[in-house]
Amino acid sequence: MFSVRKAVLSDASFIAKVHVDSWRSTYRNLVREEDLAQEASYEHRKVFWETILKKHFHNQILYVAENDDNQVVGFVSGGEERSKKFDYDGEIYAIYLLEEYQGLGIGKTLLNAFMEEAQRLGYQSILVWVLTLNPSSHFYQYLGAQPIEAEEITIGEGTYEETAYGWPNINKKGLSSINL
């Protein structure tokens, strides 16, 4: 059993742990170890998430998933589409689950909470960037997202390809059409 709720400042260190541990498990065969090490520091991520939670950015969305012991096991974060290159107004910046909690429906529940909040905030469309070789990209396609474009990004010292997937219409009718 698990629950999903809006994140609060005291969640920052737990979100950081999920972020780093998920990065390490998800990308261990996709990103060079030395590149992962540069990006995946608990302290760096804790400060990052404290900053996000303290500033209350306009139209920012951040939810956590907890297990029965009230331990944070996953999160989703997003807000305005950052690049302004696409005809999408919202973006999922990060969605991560601890490896042992993947495949249990928690990701779908987090995504649903995100989409409902995005609608409430007035977003019409959402995109998400995923490393192209990440097997989790099928999760987004299964839920109706379509590939938009691929680009190269830098992680640590390495260059990797990522693909944007998008839901062009998340209104109430659109939500049911994306299997949420």
Q: How many CB atoms lie within 10 A of CB 126?
A: 27
101-152 confidence digits (pLDDT tens): 999 999 999 999 999 999 999 999 999 999 999 888 888 988 889 999 999 9
Place of tokens 């260059």: 159
Residues 6+ apart with CB under 8 A from 160: 30, 31, 131, 132, 133, 152, 153, 154
In the chain, the domains with their CATH numbers are 2-177 (3.40.630.30)
Q: Are 44 and 37 in contact (CB under 8 A)?
A: no
Element holding 22 (H helix, E strand): helix 12-27
Question: How many distinct helices (H) and strands (E) make up the chain?
Answer: 6, 7
Question: What average pLDDT score do residues 80-91 get?
Answer: 93
- Which of the two residues, 33 and 73, has the higher pLDDT score? 73
pLDDT higher than threshold 60 for residue 178? no
Residue 39: the pLDDT is 67
E-strand ranges in the chain read 2-6, 61-67, 72-80, 90-97, 126-131, 146-155, 158-167
Element holding 51 (H helix, E strand): helix 42-55
- Bridge partners of 86? none
Confidence of residue 29 (pLDDT cuts 50, 70, 90): confident
- Bridge partners of 150? 163
pTM of the model: 0.90
* Calpha distance 165→95 (Å, rounded): 14
